[in-house]
Amino acid sequence: MSRARRIAPEVGRILLGLVFFVFGLNGFLNFMPQPPHEGAAAAFLGGLAASGYFFPLLKGTEVLVGTALLANRFVPLALVVVAPILVNIFMFHAALDRGGLGMAVVLVALEIALAYVHRKAFAPILVAKSSKDESRAADLEPAPAE
């Protein structure tokens, strides 16, 4: 295996981890000012902020995911947890605020690439029926008539 093929997943994991760790912390510490949004994007974000719980939950999750990715611990779990966040980031920028669409595409690409690298960890949950379901179904079948 070439050196680049070995290093690329590590670089991707660190980049994704840094983005979520830094932007998650920024949600609490506000060290990077956020640009103002207009129209539907502002209304959407205002509604989320008005709930009172959503942004602390989101930013806390981002910090935890970023920490896991940076520490190279529980990476497949971190990828599963961050996937719906990334879908929402992508859809927000695709539908409401095109300004960050490029970054959203890069983040989704990193997520997909890392999920591919860790595909063996996802194999057990990507089966149509588990062996447990099949054995349970056999237990429920009536006994053959004698």
Instruction: Specify the range with the lowest mean pLDDT, choosing from 10-14, 21-25, 141-145.
Output: 141-145
Q: Is the pLDDT of residue 144 over 90?
A: no
Distances (CA, A) of 109 to 13, 47, 106: 12, 29, 5
Question: Scanning the structure block, which residue is given the tokens 């590590």?
Answer: 10
Over residues 16-49, the pLDDT tens digits come to 999 999 999 999 999 999 889 999 999 999 999 9
DSSP 43: H
Instruction: Report residue 129's pLDDT band, with 50, 70 and 90 as the boundaries.
Output: confident
Domain ranges in the chain are 3-140
Tokens coding 7: 């290093």
Query: How far is C-alpha 54 from the geometric centre of its chain's CA atoms?
Result: 16
d(CA 62, CA 82): 7
Over residues 88-119, the pLDDT tens digits come to 999 999 999 999 999 999 999 999 999 999 99
pLDDT at residue 145, rounded to an integer: 67
